[in-house]
Amino acid sequence: MTSKLSPGERLAQGRRDDSARRRERVLKVVNQLARDGGTVSVSAVARGAGVDRTFLYRHPDLLAHVHALASEPSPLSGKGPTVSRASLQADLLTANARSTRLAEQVRQLEQRLSEALGEQVWRTSGIGPPSDFDRLQARITELEQQNLDLHLQLEEKEEELFAARATNRELTKAINQEGGGTT
């Protein structure tokens, strides 16, 4: 039957047969690693099967099988809790979140320490606020309120003055009209 095939067809058939043999070796190694509890990875499978890693990447079904077994916990016989890739990734995410929270807390504590030390240096150096700072601050607030009250009173007096002038003009106008009609 091989004599009926052309040289190109025989070459293609040889490649298919070689690929099938490699696939069988890969599957055998994957199943053995999974059964024995070994580390299932693309590199380990390729090394054990005697194929290049690119062979696995060219066969998506084999690659998916390797990745599926790699994400499952290895069957260790009573040696403690099993660890999977998913659980390790979850632990990593949790650790990263905790690290971020701790970094923010450290930043806040550093800021508070800096402010406290700055205030202490400010007071001990003599350039700090005067000893009666609170009394002066209260007096400033009191004077600002008094100033505001005086402004309000001034506005009221101006309104009263404006109203009195308007009334005075009207009365003057009425008197002028009265006096002008009788003369």
Pick the closest to residue 62 from 25, 92, 88 (CA basis). 25
Domain of 97 in residue numbering reads as 84-128
Q: What is the pLDDT along the chain (183 residues), one digit of tens a residue?
A: 446 888 888 888 988 998 899 999 988 988 888 888 777 888 888 888 888 888 888 888 888 888 888 777 655 545 666 677 778 888 999 999 999 999 999 999 999 999 999 888 887 887 766 667 788 889 999 999 999 999 999 999 999 999 999 999 999 999 999 876 554
> For residue 121, is it within any domain?
yes
For residue 146, tell me if it sits in a domain: yes
If asked whether residues 90 and 53 sit together in one domain, one would say: no
Q: Are residues 51 and 21 in the same domain?
A: yes
Kindly state whether residue 34 falls inside one of the protein's structural domains. Answer: yes
- How many domains is the chain partitioned into structurally? 3
Burial 105-141 (b: 16+ CB within 10 A, else e): eeeeeeeeeeeeeeeeeeeeeeeeeeeeeeeeeeeee
Q: Evaluate whether residue 3 is within a structural domain.
A: no
Q: What is residue 98's predicted lDDT score, i.e. its pLDDT?
A: 96
User: Does pTM surpass 0.85?
Assistant: no
105 assigned to some structural domain: yes
**Do 19 and 70 fall within a single domain?**
yes
Whether 2 is in a domain gets the answer no
Contact indicator for 85, 93 with CB cutoff of 8 Å: no
